[in-house]
Amino acid sequence: MMKRKWRLLIIIVIAISLAFATRAFFLRRAERERQGNYEAVLGQYSKTLKPGMSRLDVESYLKSNGDTFQRICCLKTPRHAFADIIKIGQEPTPWYCNRYNVYVGLEFERIEWSDAPTDSRNSDRLESVRLFPHLEECL
């Protein structure tokens, strides 16, 4: 009787372990697929939007393609000009945040100087195009 209980317990433990391993496998595969999609979208933007382009040209291109973008202060490197971000995806959200969005970030550098610490001007020059994962509405 005791051997049966141990066998049953071992079978249950193995089944639970297999379930967790299978779940982890599919989660990693989905993450790799999403990351590949993000890299592909980044590649498309990087082909068209080259460093040195003016903000006017970059934003005209985005508007003509129907891309919705927003301006934010900085991506990771503080600059003197606002960056533009275009949402391209969403990642699973950790418990302490409401959103985890992935953006293509367009960093600009100011060419014409003003008294404003950070702003945006049509003459700003594109510095870089990169992925910008961003946790939002966190505790």
Q: What is the pTM of this model?
A: 0.82
Contact assessment for residue 108 and residue 51, using Cβ atoms and an 8 Å cutoff: no
Q: Please report where in the chains the tokens 């049953």 appear, as a residue.
A: 8
CA-wise closest residue to 45 among 85, 73, 76, 77: 85
The full set of domain ranges for the chain reads 2-138
* Tens digit of each residue's pLDDT, the chain (139 residues): 677 888 888 889 898 999 999 998 998 999 999 999 999 999 999 999 999 999 999 999 999 999 999 999 888 777 778 999 999 999 999 999 999 999 999 999 888 776 665 667 888 999 999 999 999 999 9
- Write down the pLDDT at residue 117: 59
